[in-house]
Structure 1
């Protein structure tokens, strides 16, 4: 039993490291090549659990070789357009000026039901409202709506929008994120002054964020 446990833990750690090294693309963003690599990785990872008598290196060595090939090809694809097209394919325009391009659908082996489902998911059930529809290499549909269906923006009204950006997390679970604090141009003394003015300390804060305007949002820890 203990042999199975340590083999499982070891393979888990190796696969976790390999996945972290390969990249951060989500399942919905995987190219066909990456998807095949993920399937093979999963199959190789299960071998030590399925066959306890199999030497562990029979699984680990192919995992490392596969990870190395993936890394090498990924770096090569960064500098080669042809290699990217070979590995990932290229996007296809399947809707143009409100008309579905049947030939492109046939080339992509993409049926109308799938196309209409993706249009509905993006809030465009009527094809006539779509200026351009692009089938990405991941299989997802990108939609550029026609001008009369696009949401109104501040630029359309001649208004200068306020500065926007992601809020910075300063405290999480009672722990001060010093790196984020430094990037926000603040120091620990400033944070302590702000919190003490509210009768709080960092240890009593569940989440503290600061927006682009310098305003703090504080969510206290619930008392148990």
Structure 2
């Protein structure tokens, strides 16, 4: 019995690489520009969406591959693009700008920027919940708050007490 059904290659490897590359770039653009981010969480609906996208994309990427070797070529292509984009975004600001959304201001000087909340489909309650998790109970305590590219909220407070800095000159 031949092992060709398990490790043979029936689909041209270049076709697998091309299909994998096209789907990778298409999904990257969809996730980057259409589904930008959420407030630091992945809900059940989001997870379900990713699973469904993965299943739908699998058939487009693979054509009709049947063997482990063809699957390895396809997975290797996806790993290559993921690594290549990480490397490029580290070395080139333009690549970073394409792959990572910039911070989006949500609060400035104690005032909520409602337009940006709407843009990301965040409610005031969502924002207030994130602020409470950061130990802030009133928006007026916030100098600025940003929704970061990874979906987390970064908050800069107004100083409530005088800041004390260690005196380096006295330490010697």
TM-score (norm: length of structure 2): 0.56
Alignment-derived partner of residue 69 in structure 1: 81
SS in 1 for 2:136: coil
Which of 115, 122, 130 lines up with 2:127 in the alignment?
115
Q: Partners of 1:162 and 1:124 in 2: how far apart? A: 35
Structure with more contact order per residue of length (Cα contacts < 8 Å, sep ≥ 6):
2
Runs of 4+ in structure 1 over 6 Å off: none
Which of 97, 101, 105 lines up with 2:109 in the alignment?
97
Q: Which runs of 5+ in 1 are unaligned?
A: 1-6, 8-31, 48-53, 164-224
Q: What CA RMSD, in Å, does the superposition of the two structures yield over aligned residues?
A: 3.3
Alignment-derived partner of residue 93 in structure 2: 81
> Higher helix fraction: Structure 1 or Structure 2?
2
1:143-181 C-alpha deviation (Å, 9 max, x unpaired): 000122x6x6541xx644999xxxxxxxxxxxxxxxxxx
Which of 159, 167, 172 lines up with 1:147 in the alignment?
159
For residue 124 of structure 1, report the CA deviation from its aligned partner. Answer: 0.4
Shift in alpha-carbon separation, 1:116–1:162, aligned structure 2, 3 A:
farther
Q: 1:1-224 to 2 correspondence within 5 Å?
A: 54-148=66-160, 153-155=163-165, 159-160=167-168
How many pairs were matched up? 116
1:127-158 C-alpha deviation (Å, 9 max, x unpaired): 0100000110011110000122x6x6541xx6
Q: Partners of 1:74 and 1:159 in 2: how far apart? A: 40
- Given that 1:154 and 1:161 are in contact with CA atoms closer than 8 Å, whether structure 2 keeps it comes out as no
Q: Partners of 2:147 and 2:155 in 1: how far apart? A: 9
Q: Partners of 1:72 and 1:162 in 2: how far apart? A: 49
TM-score (norm: length of structure 1): 0.44
Q: Partners of 1:61 and 1:161 in 2: how far apart? A: 61
- Given that 1:154 and 1:160 are in contact with CA atoms closer than 8 Å, whether structure 2 keeps it comes out as no
> Higher strand fraction: Structure 1 or Structure 2?
1
- Greater radius of gyration (CA): 1
SS in 1 for 2:145: strand
For residue 114 of structure 1, report the CA deviation from its aligned partner. Answer: 1.6
For residue 107 of structure 1, report the CA deviation from its aligned partner. Answer: 2.1
